[in-house]
Structure 1
């Protein structure tokens, strides 16, 4: 059962770094004793099917029926994965109460799996997750260590294509919106190449590159706060834009483990000289003590509804979903209002990996209608300052309470999962004189 206990540690917090780095790093540090290859394969596959496994577990009432066994949701996901999806349906454990709890419900679990496949008209769960894979593997040239030309030279074996739709195995696309960004086919063996292992390139979804690019900090002139920094992709992107100028970024991270991940990410990117990592809660800072800060990037906790696979997850009720979004939006407005208190900040970029208007346009509306925010002089940046060529903008109908809803919507960026070549995302910028 040790395999499952150790694997359960890696099921949550996907934003704290790549799964591969987390698992093999834990093995190197002696934090897990199981074969890291086995742990990685089990967790990777469980995450792939997680929404479906969670539904099967819920509808079979497994946790409710086996309450006395103290079976947790993470362990249930892993054990049910091996029971239903591994070759031979084998749970890799000798006699154990948790294994017995799952086996006792074997018939019920298989019945729910059959219902799920019949409902969606598929023979296997693999048919359901095929459409959840990213259509493009995006990666950024880490300009702290290299140049875009050097990256292209290292990948000269790949044929250049001129649009995302033409990407296939053996090709490479140089993005027209973010100049240091490239896209390849998801099955391209990027992680095995020296340029990835050295930190010369960083895997990062295109939409996730928008916030730092929109903030556009000036080397040796701007001092930046990254308010919710881990795992560090946006932080290191800021460092690259700033030319890695010394101590130009303060990166906040509340969670100690995620702060360690942030440190490792910045170290691999060669950006530690530019980034000062502050382990602590950004919302508890005193803005007056940061009079040198000129801009902030705020990418707070959100529903993650734009990330592949999340859209299938079934909450208990629609009411539960709306209540959760209300709480998230409340926090998002609060952290932005705190960011707007920094006395010499002139620009703030707000972003989420959510597709819900409650966390996106409605947060913007709440801020713009707030009397304190207005008194501080904050306003939305116009489209010309927010990647003007990007075609998909905000939802006009959500700005009906404001003057010129179309202008407000045009000042926002949206991406649709898969359809726009990556995750679902939202970004907007605020400025003041």
Structure 2
């Protein structure tokens, strides 16, 4: 019963978020956040496994529940229902749609209550499928969204802070993955790819469980998507630098920066200042830094970077990583949330078949997206501009896990056109210092539209200073990165 109780709380949390409007984040992050919020003992992976299916079919299950009459017959105590709607939903999901077709608990009053309605629930499910003219409910949901919503490669990097001798780790990896492939597209279970763009980064098949290996448990390797490794590699800081990571949690980029600075030996003083606004995410950041082995070199500051970090307090900072909140349109798992946001549309299918309002709904979705992108890009602009105001800053890497130009090239353009930014002398770094071998660059059309007085080659040069990665097609998440630099 403990599992269903905990899963009910997670479902309630998701419903609360959904009631506020469109919700963002992956299903995994929502489950993890709610488990932390309620301090649940159940393994979040087990809850996720059930919710991934349960919410997908939620509108249909609620229809079946309503028609069966089970909701009207819930026993009451002191005038209040003994069982909640969402707990019943979870039990009925397992009874009707799970592989075992059974409720995973021992004898309990709520289980006996649901089983009394087993025949009626099955009958209503059959009627629903007949009405919709399908053999299985999966035909009524966009299964392509979830089935294709997994990364094609599991990326991880060697952490030199825990293992100065990388060759020893390499030998252990060779034992576990004896087959080396020449490109990430050739990865199969048991094989390994040595990345050509990021030093000591490797790709393996998602089915290979690297998290069970001692290298991972000891912090000698760190799981991090390849595109997420771009910012630290582009910034390429040394021991002479002092760096601010403006939006740090969960800490992969922060610790990756540390690996460049302290890979040849740790120092005793703080050289990296990490900022995180959310206290719970800051705890995750602290844990990540500890696991990576660089707690003494990184100062974690809980609060808004634009308010806590001022040029007067950090006059010697030379570089920035700025990876602020974004739409997350390039991250795997977001499509599940899109399905939550399309819940009304799915309910129309349950009630009326394919709705006539599909085009209207699509327009509404697009309108909501544009409004959200506008707000996000304004915030992103302010964060980067604030970083640009620091007197000794020479390089700033701005990145997002978004595929939208509004959050990427257009933020860069707004910064380049800002009078203060012009006075401070910031420009887009050229391709040769921004992973030049990476083939996919920024959208030149965005620069041509604004800088009509510049030549085609000048606009191309600015676009080439940007890096783009497409989700799945480039071996991982969708991503954007650009480096601003100046001479002081």
For the aligned pair, the TM-score class normalised by the smaller chain equals 0.7 to 0.9
Which residue is 1:374 aligned to?
422
Q: Which moved more, 1:82-91 or 1:278-287?
A: 82-91
Identify if the C-alpha distance between structure 1 residues 341 and 254 changes in structure 2 by more than 3 Å, giving closer, same or farther.
Answer: same
Query: When the two structures are aligned, how many residues end up with a matched partner?
Result: 416
Structure 2 residue matching 1:169: 3-state secondary structure: coil
Partner residue, 1:352: 400
Q: Of residues 27, 31, 34 in structure 1, which corresponds to 2:39?
A: 31
SS in 1 for 2:295: coil
Give the deviation of 1:226 after TM superposition.
0.4
Partner of 1:405: 459
Which residue of structure 2 lines up, in the alignment, with residue 295 of structure 1?
A: 319
Matches of 1:173 and 1:55, distance apart in 2? 43
1:69-148 aligned at under 5 Å gives the runs: 82=94, 85-86=97-98, 87-88=100-101, 90=103, 95=110, 111=128, 129-146=146-163, 147-148=165-166
Query: Cα offset for 1:424?
Result: 0.4
Q: 1:348 to 1:128 in 2, by over 3 A?
A: closer
Of stretches 294-303 and 122-131 in structure 1, the one that deviates more from structure 2 is 122-131
1:179 to 175, 196, 199: 199
SS at structure 2 position matched to 1:251: strand
Residue from 205, 213, 217 that aligns with 1:193: 213
The match for 1:335 is 383
Q: Give the whole-Å Cα distance in 2 for the aligned partners of 1:427 and 1:20.
A: 29
Determine the structure 2 residue equivalent to 1:41: 46
Kindly indicate whether residue 186 of structure 2 is the aligned counterpart of residue 166 of structure 1: yes
Is the contact made by 1:15 and 1:230 (CA closer than 8 Å) also made in structure 2?
Answer: no
Flag structure 1 segments of 5+ consecutive residues without an equivalent. Answer: none
Q: 1:392 to 1:121 in 2, by over 3 A?
A: farther
CA distance in 1, matches of 2:10, 2:190: 34
The unaligned stretches of length 5 or more in structure 2 are 18-23, 72-79, 342-363
SS of the equivalent of 1:419 reads coil
RMSD: 4.2
- Structure 1 CA distance for aligned equivalents of residues 55 and 133 of structure 2: 12
TM-score (norm 1): 0.82
Give the equivalent residue in structure 2 for 1:252. 275
Equivalent-residue separation in structure 2 for 1:265 and 1:17 (angstroms): 18
**Alpha-carbon displacement from aligned partner over 1:221-240 (angstroms, at most 9, x marks no partner):** 10000000000000110111
Q: Which residue in 2 is equivalent to 1:213? A: 233
Larger RCO: 1 or 2 (CA < 8 Å, sep 6+): 2
**Where in structure 2 are the equivalents of 1:48-63 lying within 5 Å?**
48=52, 52=56
Cα distance in structure 1, aligned partners of 2:191 and 2:130:
38
Alpha carbons 2:146, 2:335 under 8 Å: kept: no
* 2:261 corresponding residue in structure 1: 242
Aligned to 1:3: 6
| 1:126, distance to aligned residue in structure 2 (A) | 6.1
CA distance in structure 2 between the aligned counterparts of 1:72 and 1:365, rounded to whole angstroms: 51
3-state SS of 2:197 partner: coil
Q: Secondary structure at the match of 2:320?
A: strand
The DSSP-based 3-state class of the residue aligned with 1:289 is: coil
The structure whose Rg is larger is: 2
Judging changes above 3 Å, is the alpha-carbon distance between structure 1 residues 18 and 263 closer, same or farther for their aligned structure 2 residues? farther
Q: Larger deviation: 234-243 or 110-119? A: 110-119
Picking from 173, 178, 198, the partner of 1:155 is 173
Instruction: Show CA shifts across 1:47-91 (max 9, x none).
Output: x5588458879999x9xxx9x99x999989977865774342759
Q: Which residue of 2 aligns with 1:225?
A: 244
Instruction: State the partner residue of 1:276.
Output: 299
Kept in 2: contact 1:43–1:78 (CA 8 A): no
Q: Is the 8 A contact 2:62 2:89 kept in 1?
A: no
Hey, what does 1:361 align to over in structure 2?
A: 409
